[in-house]
């Protein structure tokens, strides 16, 4: 049984022993892991820890300011330095489409900024809130988490000039939350839904452009507002280029769905996109197909389906197509041609290692979809992501 109090006591001693009287920086995004790690380290070495908040441009609207205010005020009172990185990150990711290339470019930019700050502040240590699933997924090759170096044989001291300390590296997210509560961290932070280090760069699937990123920021805001009442473990949107690819399995997928629905007078449309998304099949990474499903009924309206049918549809696609990593179901009726589609992603999970999708009332899905459509004319349609983890991951990339 995990004992957060004993964990805190042990870690404070361990951090003191490692850092002694040295100064250290900590990259703090305001998320549960990095905030807990910052508070723990602050308790261990006081103001010898400098929190660095990098504005990557991939935070949600208004978030950098909010996080800075939260961390620098009671009860945290952390010493925070805000670093502007927007241009550097946008340039580093410009033109990249592949998810792993984007993640690596993000990671390199992130650490080169931290290396500069560490040098300027005369810090030879970087403390970071890496947790166990970050390491496991990176080492297994599922996806490169931005905050994992040594475990994949990158030597931080040689490359960036600092030694890394990871006090939370043996914990799962729910254990980090227990530590956070024990440390007295307010629930606004301890119960906060996770937000990936590379932020919206992993939710703007494929190439990132300023316009696509702005559309994603607006869509995310809408989803956070509309789904809050349901209190899912994690919920957000992803935006994907609406470029279709020929799909040889269209007819077979349609036939299976027709059999599952047992409904006459519906038309079924099955499409797939050029852009790929991350999944996990047979325990390994699959950069797989995104399959779009649309079922139209009376007045050409998208048909409400039960969560059992949602599950059967995604299972049926997955069993027919071993290269599929996502199944999305259309929730908006309006037909228009735009550059992108938006996926609503919402999951229930304890450890973020496996996850099921949230049961969202159809009315809420449709209202949310309509609002997202009206937020940007370049969005063709809005879908709900039906895929559990595995075979998908929680984030799209």
Q: Which of 275, 312, 314, 393 binds ligand XMP (CB under 6 A)?
A: 393
Least distance in Å: CB of 213 to ligand XMP?
17
Q: Which stretch binds ligand XMP (CB under 6 A): 5-13, 118-126, 191-199, 211-219?
A: 191-199
Q: Which stretch binds ligand XMP (CB under 6 A): 80-88, 189-197, 325-333, 362-370?
A: 189-197
CA–CA distance from 317 to each of 116, 141, 260, 368 (Å)? Answer: 48, 24, 12, 25
Q: How many degrees, rounded to 5, is the angle at CA 310 between CA 304 and CA 312? A: 135
- Tell me the C-alpha distance between 70 and 133, whole Å: 26
Least distance in Å: CB of 361 to ligand XMP?
24
Q: Which of 164, 169, 343, 394 binds ligand XMP (CB under 6 A)?
A: 394
Least distance in Å: CB of 251 to ligand XMP?
31
- Tell me the C-alpha distance between 81 and 89, whole Å: 18
- Tell me the C-alpha distance between 54 and 360, whole Å: 34
- If one asks whether residue 44 binds ligand XMP (CB under 6 A), the answer comes out as no
- State which residue, 32 or 302, has the beta carbon closest to ligand XMP: 32
- Tell me the C-alpha distance between 224 and 72, whole Å: 25
- State which residue, 195 or 247, has the beta carbon closest to ligand XMP: 195
Number of residues forming the site for ligand XMP (CB under 6 A):
16
Quick check: 15 and 165 in contact, CB under 8 A?
yes
- Tell me the C-alpha distance between 179 and 33, whole Å: 10
Q: Which stretch binds ligand XMP (CB under 6 A): 18-26, 190-198, 357-365, 368-376?
A: 190-198
Quick check: 171 and 36 in contact, CB under 8 A?
no
- State which residue, 203 or 339, has the beta carbon closest to ligand XMP: 203
Least distance in Å: CB of 122 to ligand XMP?
27
- Within 289-328, the residues that bind ligand XMP by CB under 6 A are none
Q: Name the pairing type of β-strands 244-245 and 49-55.
A: unpaired
Q: Which stretch binds ligand XMP (CB under 6 A): 3-11, 93-101, 139-147, 211-219?
A: 139-147
Q: Which of 30, 85, 194, 288 binds ligand XMP (CB under 6 A)?
A: 194
Least distance in Å: CB of 321 to ligand XMP?
20
Residue 41 has φ and ψ, to the nearest 5°, of -70, -35
- Tell me the C-alpha distance between 188 and 169, whole Å: 23
- Tell me the C-alpha distance between 51 and 27, whole Å: 6
Three-state secondary structure call for residue 157: helix
- If one asks whether residue 279 binds ligand XMP (CB under 6 A), the answer comes out as no
Residue 256 has φ and ψ, to the nearest 5°, of -60, -45
- If one asks whether residue 145 binds ligand XMP (CB under 6 A), the answer comes out as yes
Angle between helical axes of 307-320 and 250-261 (0-180°, round to 10):
150
Q: Which stretch binds ligand XMP (CB under 6 A): 4-12, 196-204, 286-294, 330-338?
A: 196-204
- Within 223-242, the residues that bind ligand XMP by CB under 6 A are 234
**Which positions from 330 to 369 touch ligand XMP by CB under 6 A, shown as an x/- string?**
----------------------x-----------------
Please choose, from the candidates 202, 27, 30, 209, the residue with its C-alpha nearest in 3D space to the C-alpha of residue 116.
27
- Residue 57 CA to its chain's centroid (Å): 15
Binding site for ligand XMP (CB under 6 A): 134, 137, 143, 145-147, 194, 196-198, 234, 352, 389, 393-395
């Amino acid at each position: 049984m995990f004992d957060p109090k004993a964990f805190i006591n042990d870690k404070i001693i361990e951090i003191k022993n490692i850092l002694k009287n040295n100064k250290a920086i900590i990259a703090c995004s305001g998320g549960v892991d990095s905030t807990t790690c910052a508070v723990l380290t602050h308790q261990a070495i006081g103001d010898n820890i400098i929190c660095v908040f990098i504005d990557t441009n991939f935070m949600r609207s208004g978030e950098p300011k909010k996080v800075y205010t939260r961390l620098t005020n009671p009860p945290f009172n952390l010493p925070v330095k805000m670093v502007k990185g927007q241009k550097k990150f946008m340039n580093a990711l410009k033109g990249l489409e592949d998810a792993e290339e984007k993640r690596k470019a993000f990671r390199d930019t992130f650490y080169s900024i931290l290396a500069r700050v560490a040098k300027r502040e005369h810090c030879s240590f970087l403390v970071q809130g890496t947790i166990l699933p970050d390491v496991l997924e990176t080492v297994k090759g599922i996806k490169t988490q931005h905050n994992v170096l040594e475990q994949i044989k990158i030597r931080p001291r040689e490359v960036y000039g600092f030694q890394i300390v990871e006090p939370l590296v043996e914990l799962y997210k729910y254990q980090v939350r227990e530590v956070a509560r024990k440390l007295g961290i307010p629930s606004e932070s301890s119960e906060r839904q996770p937000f990936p280090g590379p932020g919206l760069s992993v939710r703007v699937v494929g190439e990132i452009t300023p316009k696509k990123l702005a559309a994603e920021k607006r869509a995310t805001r809408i989803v956070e507002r509309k789904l809050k009442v349901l209190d899912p473990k994690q919920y957000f949107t992803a935006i994907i280029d609406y470029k279709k690819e020929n799909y040889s399995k269209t007819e077979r997928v349609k036939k299976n769905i027709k059999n599952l629905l047992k409904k006459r007078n519906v038309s079924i449309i099955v499409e797939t996109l050029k852009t790929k998304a991350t999944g996990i099949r047979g325990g390994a990474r699959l950069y797989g197909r995104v399959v779009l499903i649309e079922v139209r009924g009376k007045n050409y309206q998208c048909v409400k389906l039960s969560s059992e049918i949602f599950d059967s549809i995604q299972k049926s696609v997955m069993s027919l197509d071993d290269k599929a990593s996502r199944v999305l179901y259309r929730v908006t009726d309006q037909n228009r041609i735009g550059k992108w589609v938006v996926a609503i992603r919402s999951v229930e999970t304890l450890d973020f290692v496996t996850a099921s999708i949230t049961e969202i009332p159809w009315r809420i899905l449709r209202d949310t979809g309509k609002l997202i459509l009206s937020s940007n004319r370049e969005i063709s349609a809005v879908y709900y992501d039906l895929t559990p983890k595995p075979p998908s991951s929680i984030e799209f990339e």
